[in-house]
Each structure stands twice: as C-alpha cells, then as structure tokens.
Structure 1
C-alpha cells in the first residue's frame, strides 16, 4: 500500500526578486516599495529553510523560478521591456511565483471522487504582476506531477472569478493520509483593499476536485482582517491535521463557522488566539499565522515554523511560550530567517505548497535532498544578483544576468524543459 505523506514544495526565490510595491493590500510590500532588495540573500534564506525542514524529518520538494521578465506578457500588452511604463516593467520582472502557496489548490487523493490528488492552478487575476504566472506554473506542475494514475492537474478557474490557491484553503483530518474536511476561505469586495478569493472560484475548485458536499466548508474571511492587511487567509489562520489555529478576528461569522467545523469534523481542536493577547496588527506584522504548522515524525507532536519576526514581537512570543508550555498539540517553535521574503509580504507558509502524496509518484527532480540544496546554493551564490533597486529593471545587463542565472539553476537541477 502506498504511503501518503505531506510534502512541502518551496518556491526557489528567483534572481529578479525586487521591491516594487506591486501588491495592493499587502502592508509589507507597500511599506518597502522602492527599497533595495537582495535576491542572493533571499534565495539562500529560502534554501536554508528547506534544509532546516529536512533536518526536522520533513519531506521537502521545490519549484523553479519562472522565466522573468515575461516578454510574452509584455508583447500581449503591445510593449517591450525598454518601452514599458515602470509599473508594467516591474510586473513583468516580478519574482512572486516564489510564494508557492499561491500556485494551486490541492485536494489529496483520499478526499476526491476518483482517488487521485487534484490540483487546480490559481489564476491570481486580482493582481497584474501575478496574473501572468499561471501558464508557467501549470507547465511546472504538470511536469512534477505528471503521473496521471496519482495526479490530476487542472487549468485555472476562468476570470473574473479570483482564485489565489492554497493560501485561502485549509484541511482538517485525522492524519494526512486519511480523508479530511476541506475549508475554502473567501472574501467579499469592499473597503480599502480588494478581496482576492471569490466564493465562485472556491466552489468551482471543489467541484473540479470531486469533493463531497458534507466534507467541504466555505467560510468568509473577516472584512476587518482584510482591511488590516490580511490579504490571504494564511495571514490569520493555519490548519494541520486535527488542529485549526486562528486569530479571533480571522473569520466574519466565527461562531457559525466553528459550529460547522465541529459538525463536519468532531475531532477538531480549535485554538483561537484572543485579540487582547495578540492584536490583529501584531499578528499581521509578525506573520504569526503564516507559519508552517507541521506534524513532526515519531509522534513528537506539532511544530510551528515561524519567521524570526514572531520571536521579535513581544506579545506574539509571550503568547506562543504559553501555548507550548500548555502541552497541547503544538509542542515546538522553530523560528527561521526569511526576512527578504517577509519584506515583500511572504512568510514561511507563503513559500510552500503542501501536497499530500506518495513521494515516489512525484518527478524526483523536484524532490529536495541536502546534496541538491547544496548544489542550488552554489549556483545562487555565484549567479544571483547581490542587490536590485527598482530603477535597475530597465538595465539591459540585469536582464541578461537574471536570465543566465535561472538557466544555470535549471541545468544543475536537470529541468531544462522549463527554460521557456
């Protein structure tokens, strides 16, 4: 019998990583717009996080950066890199595919009608700089998960229904390999920031994946959370196996939602962080909930893989210390340094896509080992730009360097099919 395991696939941070402030509603992205970025440091931080997870005994995979700048997208807008307006040029260069949580929504095989793991690529249509990611993501997912006996990879939900992938999706189950209840979180438009996940898209994904109605929940993210800068649900809530860990202000109709959770999954352990202990502002600044909540091997309980910003935020760290001392499901706190990603609005959970599958069914070129990570780190050290200012995006030398750097990474990972 095949062994289904949770595999975290992290996006390698691409050589064009820069701070252009393109993401409306993402407070960190807006606050750091125009600053110098450090692509080399960013990618090495991401690789170090993957190495840390392997050391914890977790199964780890990775995705390649997409081809940037996206010349075809610029052409579809009737312009060229040298002629494009600065914000259009920055959107073409965007390295935001690094946040693999937005790559797709995943329904493991035990949940689906045909017993295969289903994946629907996110259209990301709300933000221009992300809206052109899906063709490259689709090609990569179909390569990594090409075994059609185990996987079904679907094209995105059509516009105008916005879908942002796994960042607005959670799953509760007894263990990863058992059938679970899938939770789709949507927003409603209004207020100063757009709601990026539409309920129509969430329902379409559930239908495409063949999910049973009595094992699916659709819940609204709170307007308050969106207005505060929680542009995705994973900024205010995270789930793993039987545990749902969420801020008090995460959901619009919290008690009704919790009642439905308990009705459909009675084993649920709901941990609600009170606003009087951790404010919504502190939760968003620290990315407390944008942690990887993972099950450790050998019955060692669960761990939160947190950004170091959580440890540096007094109220957050004080609450977390109390939480783990309570001897509940969450037993271990693991701060990791992903500051370059954080400065553009993405924590540890943003950088990874969770896939429950038999690791042997995955194209092994996408599975991480310490030796592979060492080889990738060497390519990054030698080829990723040390720093990028937004005005450098018009520089022909940067264009050449970014494209050569990505090509060398594809070569060392023997994934040259993805060169264009």
Structure 2
C-alpha cells in the first residue's frame, strides 16, 4: 500500500466568463442571466481560493481554461469566412449560439473527468475518463480540448491512463467527478467508489429539471477504470433534489476518507445506499453524517452551496471544510456548523467566490480531486503546481489580459477573441504545457 496525497487541480477561470444563464436546472445560473460579469475578479477569486489552501499545506495545482469562443464548433454549424466574419454572422443570425460557444464553464473542472486512484484499479495505474457532458451543448463541446489538457498535465505512460469519452448519446450522459465520490481509510488505501446517477431505465424521474447523469454511464466508467464491482456503489439522486436545483451530486453531498456528509434528501433510498457502502468498505468504518431537512432545508442547501464545499484532510490528521462566503449569509447553515464539529470536521474556512457562485459553481465545482502517490506526483507536468511564485505570475497574467466587465454583447467583438488567444498563448508558456490550444498550431 503506497502513501498518497489528494491534490486539488483547480480550473482557472477563462477570459470569456459571462452570465449566459446556460445551465438549465442550475438556479444560480438562471437567476443571474444577462448580468454584466467581471472576468478579472472571477479569475483572481479562484486563484485566491487556491492560494488559501496551498498556504495551509495542501497540494494545489491549476488546470488551464479552454479556448473560447470555440470557432471550430461554429464552423461545424455552417458559419464560414475569417474569424471576424464568423463572429459577425453568428451575432446576426444566431446570437444564442455565441454565448454557448463562449462559455467559460470549463472552469468547473469537477465536470472535466472521472478519476480513479491507482490503489483502486486493476492495473495499479491512475485512470481518467473525460466527461461527455452531452446534456448541454455549451459543455458537450468541451471534451476534445479537455482531453488534450489532461494528457498534457498527466502524460500517458507508466502512471496515467486516459480513456475516450463514453458514447455521446442520452443513455451514456456523463457529468464527471461531480457525481463521483471516494471513501477509504486514508488516501493511499484502496477505496470505494460512490457513483451517483440521476436516471436509469425504470426509475422515477424528476418532474421539472433534467437528470444529467445516467447509471449506465457510471457503470461504464467503473468498467473502463478496472474497478472491482464489489467496491463500487451506485446510488440514485433523489428526484425532488434535482427539481430543487441539485443538478450534480456535489451540490448535496461530499465525501473525504471515511466521512460522508450529505443532506437528508440527497439519495432516493438512503438506507440502501449506506448499507451498500458499509458492505463495500468492509473493515473500514463509514462515518455517515446526514444533515436533516428540518435543520437545513433543501432550498437553503442549494442557495448556500453548503455541500459544494471542499472537505479536506489536514496534514495533522484533522478535517477542514472550505465553504463559499455565501454560507455566512444563510442563517440555517450558520446555525448548523456547530453540528458539523460533531461529525469530525475540525475547522471551517470561507472563500469569496461570488463571480463563480452567481453562475452556479462553488468551491467543489472548481476543483478536480486527484489522489497521487509520490511517483505519480513526480510525473505530473511540473509547471502546474501552485506556489508563491506561480501565484504571483498568474495574478499578473490575469491583471494584464482580463477585462473587468463583460456582457453578452461583447462576445461578438473580434478584439475579445484576439485578447483571449494572446492570454492563453501566454498561459501555456507560463505553465510549460506546450501548444495545448488549437490556434497555436494554426498556419
């Protein structure tokens, strides 16, 4: 059994961060649609959250944003000519597409892929499957570029295995690590995969909003990664939770080591889920802390993103919960924090992420959790690990290249495309990732 750490790979917010209201079923996204955003503040808030954890001794790294607007998708949809001509045509003929191909949603890298630790896989390697995200067009176009970024950061070879996305059809709709949790005695020990889905054949469906993850997708990822069936638990989201705005499981539950923190209405059959987890974990004791709806309502959980917090193991063995500042503004949540001490959470930190939160993504949305043994950590692209020097360079990069206000009408500006490409080319050099963007290889 190898010693291992859990590293957080956070998505850098891209220069086209705007409030398009694109995520149906995401209440915050819909509530702020059409407002003017501040990409510079959004990126700096994300970096400050990363620095907060890095300063506390947590392994913290960054993942670059994807190129946006995605002109390749627009050309596939029949728009032609030079880049400026394409933008002008879309703005005139199909302005709704311009927001979608300019979405900065790749910042929420909890949806980038599902990751399985090498301690859990049959071949002893760390496995990645990019999410197809095919429920929403603006996210379904991400996976080719996401796969390129993941391969640059985690080079294929003796340590890392990269799979292709699942078939891009409704039956295999996959939203990535936002619907996957890992429970274990400690990070280096073999773990149990908790795969949460919204729909399967014959199961009750939500009445209002779509169930994005399918059981079939979760089972396929588990097979791809060579996980032992007896150490996988497949649990259905409660349909009422989805209708209340719980579009991913990480909005209503979070796991770390042997602690599962979840809302009373997280799962369709909670007793069955807990019994299955206890069987799968064997001699490792499951610590399950259920937050009752009488204490924190489903609406309060969604509005505050209490469960979209980062539950982390401190170097001293205690646990820390990093919450969004929005939790401070919710009386139900603040009253309940004392109860979380009894669950084994020793410390609470708060991060200002208002720009991301208004678009529907909290602390847990912004990070991809990757369990790494020492040799695996050494194989990661070295330029992505956050330290004081990289943090300073990234803040300077943001200040240099990002606008401090952006509206949907600005997305048709060819100058924004040029600014974005200049910024991303500089970033790829800064992180030492080579030509990870398609425009860099253009003639």
TM-score (norm 1): 0.97
Displacement, 1:413? 2.1
Task: Determine if the alignment matches structure 1 residue 156 to structure 2 residue 156.
Answer: no
Asked whether 1:258 is paired with 2:269, we answer no
- Give unmatched runs, 5+ long, in structure 1: none
1:386 equivalent in structure 2: 404
Secondary structure of the corresponding residue to residue 305 of structure 1 = strand
Find the residue that maps to 2:260 and give its secondary structure: strand
**2:210 aligned counterpart, secondary structure:** coil
Q: CA contact under 8 A between 1:407 and 1:416: conserved in structure 2?
A: no
Structure-2 residue corresponding to 1:332: 347
Q: Which moved more, 1:396-405 or 1:174-183?
A: 396-405
Given candidates 217, 229, 232, the residue that maps to 2:245 is 229
Does 2:297 match 1:279? yes
Structure 2 unaligned runs (5+)?
80-85, 200-204, 439-443
* 1:306 paired to 2:323: yes
- Measure, in 2, the Cα distance between the counterparts of 1:283 and 1:311: 12
Q: Residue 435 of structure 2 aligns to a residue in which SS?
A: helix
- What does 1:42-57 correspond to in 2, within 5 Å? 42-57=42-57
Per-residue CA distance 1:144-163 (angstroms, 9 max, x = gap): 11142111011111121110
Match of 1:88 in 2: 97
Give the match for residue 374 of structure 1: 392
CA distance in 2 between partners of 1:148 and 1:414 (Å): 19
**Following superposition of structure 1 onto structure 2, how do residues 11-410 of structure 1 map, counting pairs within 5 Å?**
11-79=11-79, 80-84=86-90, 85-160=94-169, 161-188=172-199, 189-266=205-282, 267-299=285-317, 301-324=318-341, 326=342, 328-358=343-373, 359-410=377-428
User: What residue is the counterpart of 2:4 in the other structure?
Assistant: 4
* CA distance in 1: counterparts of 2:241 and 2:392, whole angstroms: 39
Shift of 1:369: 1.4
Q: 1:56 deviation in Å?
A: 1.4
Q: Distance in 1 between matches of 2:206 and 2:316?
A: 46
Name the counterpart of 2:202: none
Is the CA contact (8 Å cut-off) linking 2:112 and 2:131 kept in structure 1? Answer: yes
State how far apart, in whole Å, the 1-side matches of 2:58 and 2:168 are.
36
Deviation at 1:368, TM superposition (A): 1.6
SS in 2 for 1:81: helix
Task: Classify 1:165/1:21 alpha carbon distance in 2 versus 1 (closer, same or farther; 3 Å).
Answer: same
Cα deviations by residue, 1:89-140 (Å, 9 ceiling, x for unpaired) = 1111111100010000011001000000111000000011000100111001
> Conserved in 1, the CA contact under 8 Å of 2:153 and 2:433?
no
Secondary structure of 1:118's counterpart equals strand
SS in 2 for 1:146: coil
Q: Which secondary structure state, in structure 2, belongs to the residue aligned with residue 218 of structure 1?
A: strand
Shift of 1:406: 2.0
The offset of 1:82, in angstroms, is 1.9
Give 1:417 deviation, angstroms.
Answer: 1.5
CA distance in 2, matches of 1:3, 1:244: 22
> Over aligned residues, Cα RMSD in angstroms?
1.2
SS state of the match for residue 397, structure 2? helix
Question: How far apart, in 1, do the equivalents of 2:420 and 2:156 lie?
Answer: 32
- May I ask how many residue pairs the two structures share in their alignment? 417
Moved more, 185-194 or 336-345: 185-194
